[in-house]
Homo-oligomer: A and B are copies of this chain.
Amino acid sequence: MASKEAKISLKAPKGTRDWSGADLLLRDHVFETISNIFKLHGGTPLDTPVFELKEILAGKYGEEARLIYNLEDQGGELCALRYDLTVPFARWLAMNNVQQIKRYQIAKVYRRDQPAIARGRMREFYQCDFDIAGAYDPIIPDAEILRVIVETFDALGLDITIKTNHRRILDGIFSVAGVPAEKIRPISSAVDKLDKEPWEAVKKEMVEQKGLPEEVADKIGVFVLNRGTIDEMIEFIKADPNLSANEEIKAGLADMDLLSTYSKELGTFDKVSFDLSLARGLDYYTGLIFEVIQKPANTKDQDGTRYPEKSSKNADASAVGSIAAGGRYDNLVGMYGKKQIPCVGISFGVDRIFTILKARRGEKEGRSRQVDVYVMAFGGKEFNGLLLERMSVARQLWEAGIRAEFSAKVKPRLPQQFKAAEEVPLGVILGQDELAEGKVRLKVLGTGKGGKEEEKDEKDQGQLVSRENLVEEVKKLLQTHTLPIR
């Protein structure tokens, strides 16, 4: 049995990873930054199970449904890992008949996609979602979501562009171009690939795989390859008599008009690009849709271009792809047979954001551990290790809320103790003679480097402090000697 077990592959499953140390602290910093913005806007947290009944997920994801992880049928209900946080939120709204809420959720989701770890695309990854549910007036919640996006990336120090489009405008364009109703969603999926593939490849997919007449595909191309500010694009669409006569497009334009007004008031207008090629793969969107990309540092709004051209040579610049995405989904909650609740939301791709921030941080590694005091002991030939005394001092510190450690050896060697005190700002040093007088030595471990340098510095034995005053003196020193986390 032992030999068999020695052969197992010692790894996390494909497309997943462990988080620890400085990486985990950086990721938690991202979570905290984002959730603070969510709270600024009145968000309340929600936590749902990691798997849902399969029927809850069915029919919500279009072509992407093939990426859903199913649980094995072991008797009982058929379940699948959640694919996003939106469908579970809609299920929760319908189940509890919640009429309005701003909810946020930070949790892992699962997609059986081909992983691309360097670009932050994993099979298990975190999403941070903020959604506004409720029957409100048009575009007011949508505009607040765009504001949340801008505030979040400002707080993270990332320069971004929000690509937006409107499902009703897009569907209207398909309809004007001559796409039959039943092909609108598949064609929309093809158009959505325009951020990764050139027009020729997308056109080929439409014609060869999805059976669209070539002239219809060409008409689509005339429209969807355009983008600009919200106002520029409203003008562009209105200038085309075929488009502006379409009822769906009219309805979408009314929304975009409001978005222009509101986003100017909320200070987000300049970050938004109205991009007719944005389609979003998911079936459930019904109105405004958006996707956030990082603005490459060398792009300076030349020629009115707000982000890199979609040519292959720019693939590196935005290699991680979209770092947040969302939209309005007014019919999803109603699909569960309950009262319709209109919703709009944004999902932040935290792993991709992490990848960017980590690359920016570069080689600087943060501390992975936060301990205030290391309790150590040393003595001469008769040294018995003073274990019980070290326990007693550690207990005293813990009771005062001070983070303290000591060596779990009966007779630890001095170098071991100094090594273990790496990154710890203060040392309490016990000696038999001092203890007999009820005293200990309290020493600032200086640079926090620990190890040999500290050991050399051994002759500076710190200040002599009585056990009764120890907590007070430690707290005093910690005010000036706590090391930064990052």
Residues in A80-135 with C-beta less than 8 Å from chain B: 81, 91-92, 94-95, 102-103, 108, 110, 112, 124, 132, 134
With an 8 A cutoff between CB atoms, is A11 at the interface?
yes
Q: Considering only CB atoms and an 8 Å cut-off, how many residues of chain A contact the other chain?
A: 96
Bound: A368/B39 CA distance, A: 12
Q: Which of A196-204, A286-294, A391-399 contacts B (4 or more CB under 8 A)?
A: A391-399
Among A67-75, A179-187, A321-329, A443-451, the stretch in contact with B: A67-75
- Closest chain B residue, CB of each to CB of A98: B20
9-residue interface stretch from A43-51, A222-230, A295-303: A43-51
- A69 → chain B closest CB, angstroms: 6
**Which residues of chain B are within 8 angstroms of A391 by Cβ–Cβ distance?**
143, 262, 265-266
Given contacts A14-B76, A52-B12, A95-B11, contact A46 B24 (CB under 8 A): yes
Instruction: Return chain B residues, CB-CB under 8 Å to A395.
Output: 147, 265-267
* Pick from B11, B140, B338: contact of A409, CB under 8 Å: B140
Instruction: Determine which of B94, B132, B137 lies in contact with A410 in the assembled complex, contact meaning CB atoms within 8 Å.
Output: B137
Q: Which of B7, B16, B74 contacts A70 (CB 8 A)?
A: B74
List residues of A (136-173) whose CB comes within 8 Å of B's CBs.
Answer: 136-137, 140-141, 143-144, 147, 151
A401 at interface, CB cutoff 8 A: yes
CB within 8 Å for A6 and B70 given contacts A18-B92, A39-B403, A40-B401: no
Q: Which stretch from A53-61, A231-239, A471-479 is at the chain B interface? A: A53-61
> Is A243 interfacial (CB-CB < 8 Å)?
no
Closest Cβ neighbor of A11 among chain B residues? B95
- B71 to A46, Cβ gap below 8 A? no
Q: Which residue of B lies closest to A112 (CB)?
A: B74
Cross-chain contact A136 with B10 (CB below 8 angstroms): no
Contacts of A95 in B (CB 8 A): 10-12
Which residues in B have their C-beta under 8 angstroms from that of A79?
Answer: 13
Whether the Cβ atoms of B403 and A40 lie closer than 8 Å is: yes
Task: List which A255-290 residues lie within 8 A (CB) of chain B.
Answer: 261-262, 265-267
Q: B71–A70 contact, CB under 8 A?
A: yes
Asked whether A17 and B59 contact (CB < 8 A) given A136-B409, A395-B265, A408-B144, the answer is: no
The CA-CA distance from A162 to B9 in the complex, in Å, is 37
CB closest residue in chain B, given A75 = B112
Q: How far is the CA of A102 from the CA of B8 in the complex (A)?
A: 26
- Interchain Cβ contacts under 8 Å between A and B, 28 examples: A2-B335, A5-B59, A8-B53, A8-B337, A10-B94, A12-B48, A12-B52, A12-B91, A12-B95, A13-B77, A16-B49, A16-B51, A20-B46, A24-B46, A39-B403, A40-B402, A41-B398, A42-B371, A44-B369, A70-B72, A70-B74, A72-B72, A74-B112, A132-B408, A136-B409, A137-B408, A140-B387, A266-B391
What residues of B have a CB within 8 angstroms of the CB of A124 in the complex? 49-51
Tell me how many chains of this kind the complex includes. 2
Q: List residues of chain A with CB under 8 Å of any chain B CB.
A: 1-2, 5-14, 16-21, 24-25, 28, 39-42, 44-53, 55-56, 59, 69-74, 76-77, 79, 81, 91-92, 94-95, 102-103, 108, 110, 112, 124, 132, 134, 136-137, 140-141, 143-144, 147, 151, 261-262, 265-267, 335-338, 368-371, 387-388, 391-392, 395, 398, 401-405, 407-410
Contact A10 B336 (CB under 8 A): yes
Q: Among B16, B17, B47, point to the contact of A20 (Cβ < 8 A).
A: B47
Please name all residues of chain B whose beta carbon is closer than 8 Å to the beta carbon of A17 when the two chains form the complex.
49
Cα(A19)–Cα(B410), bound, Å:
46
In the bound complex, do residue A398 and residue B48 qualify as a contact, i.e. CB atoms below 8 Å apart? no
